[in-house]
Amino acid sequence: MNGAEIYRAYNDAENAHDLVAAERLVAPDLSVEVNGKPAVGSAEDDRAANAALLACYPDYHRRIVGAVVDGDRAAVRWRMLGTPATDGLEPLDVHGCSFVTVADGRITDAALYYDGAALDAVLARAKENTR
């Protein structure tokens, strides 16, 4: 599978709220940057971030808008949507792009770019829970 196909499978697992299946599609030493800053350093960190996202937005889903593939790399444009589970959180409606690299059927590196305070708040909460 190419980078976009693996990302789509990962996205499908997230949208199904199947964190086990999503974790199988990322390398144990996954490295993720968000807007140029280190954010996730392992499959376990990624799973924690996804769990926090689902806890904050139980109806969370991400739509893939488009993808461009270059061998083991892909650029994927997406839109995340979700209704907050509690007061104090903004509704989630974030447009962004992920640049991913894959090897052996797993995402090894990702760089996400977006503008969205709601998603930033969830990622900060996930980071606190993994300390």
Supply the pLDDT for residue 5: 96
Tell if the pTM clears 0.85, that is, is over it.
yes
- Mean pLDDT, range 30-40, rounded to an integer: 93
First CA to last CA distance, the chain:
34
Sequence-distant (≥ 6) Cβ neighbours of residue 58 within 8 angstroms = 82, 83, 85
- Interval 48-107: pLDDT, tens: 999 999 999 999 999 999 999 999 999 999 999 999 998 888 888 999 999 999 999 999
Supply the pLDDT for residue 121: 72
Residue 115 vs residue 62, higher pLDDT: 62
SS3 92: strand
Supply the pLDDT for residue 115: 83
